[in-house]
Amino acid sequence: MATSRAAPTSTTKRPGKTPPSAPGTPAVLPLHQRILFPPSSTARPPRILHSPAHSTLDPVILDLIALALRAYVTPWYNGGISRDPDKAFLQAVTAVLVQVIQALEVRLATVDWAELVVRDVPELVAAHYRDWDLATERAGSGSAHNFSPEELFHNLEPHIAISLSTAPDGSSSRASVPHVDKVYLRTLVDHLLKALLPPDDYRAETERAIVRQILVGVVFGAVFSRVAQPWFLH
């Protein structure tokens, strides 16, 4: 009588689930939390915008503030004035910048965006295209044979904050590069801070100078230098 054999059982193990991370593993902190606060801090970043989208936009704004402070404040403050292990100075400057952004948000809420977008912006863009086309048409011919398109455009739309410098670009033509006057930008930002900051914060010259330098270097300087290029819209 034949004996029946039991079917061999498979010894192959199914892959198990990935084990959870060990308890106590530190979570990765946001960039602004690592730059603006000490590692042991339990402080929460301030709310910036009143908009319902603040949960999405606030971290982005705080990251930009943190990067700006790391580039413009931390090198000279931590290097020559104070070690500031609690990063109290960075948090104080951040609070001033947050006040500026909040006040600006309130002002922007009163702007007639429909009139700005439908009437004012198209007029500016049309004037820009018209003058740039005229400059490129006249450059290098007739009485303007010694002028580049950038120079002619600057003559058609002059601005006290913009000056041109001519530098060789490796070809027979001349390259005219616009430069934005930093003194003009600092004055502009100072007037904005006077309108946006509470009087006590505006009278604090050190904080105001730091905030002004950050806005000039990070925001206005970078934006204006590019917008000042005649080919910006092309």
213 and 131: one domain?
yes
Band of pLDDT at residue 64, cut at 50, 70 and 90: very high
137 and 207: one domain?
yes
Q: Does residue 39 sit within a domain? A: yes
98 and 119: one domain?
no
97 and 127: one domain?
no
81 and 164: one domain?
no
State how many domains the chain has: 2
Residue whose C-alpha is closest to residue 152's, from 125, 180, 178: 178
Q: How many residues would you count in the chain?
A: 234
pTM of the model as a whole: 0.72
Domain boundary among 53, 87, 108: 108
**Where would I find the beta strands (DSSP E) of the chain?**
162-168, 174-180
pLDDT in the model for residue 120: 93
- C-alpha distances (whole Å) from 195 to each of 74, 175, 188 are 27, 39, 11
pLDDT in the model for residue 21: 47
**Distance from C-alpha of 234 to C-alpha of 229, rounded to nearest angstrom:** 10
Residues in CB range of 162: below 8 A, 6 or more apart: 154, 178, 179, 180, 181, 228
Q: Does residue 19 sit within a domain? A: no
**Distance from C-alpha of 49 to C-alpha of 106, rounded to nearest angstrom:** 9
150 and 204: one domain?
yes
Residue whose C-alpha is closest to residue 192's, from 108, 91, 118: 108
Residue that is written with structure tokens 């739309």 in the block: 157
Q: Which domain holds residue 90?
A: 31-108
- Which tokens belong to 146? 């010694």
Q: Which of 17-26, 48-57, 117-126 shows the lowest per-residue confidence on average (mean pLDDT)?
A: 17-26
Domain boundary among 108, 138, 165: 108
Domain boundary among 92, 108, 124: 108
56 and 124: one domain?
no
98 and 151: one domain?
no
Residues in CB range of 163: below 8 A, 6 or more apart: 178, 179, 181
165 and 191: one domain?
yes
64 and 130: one domain?
no
pLDDT tens readout for residues 211-223: 998 888 888 877 8
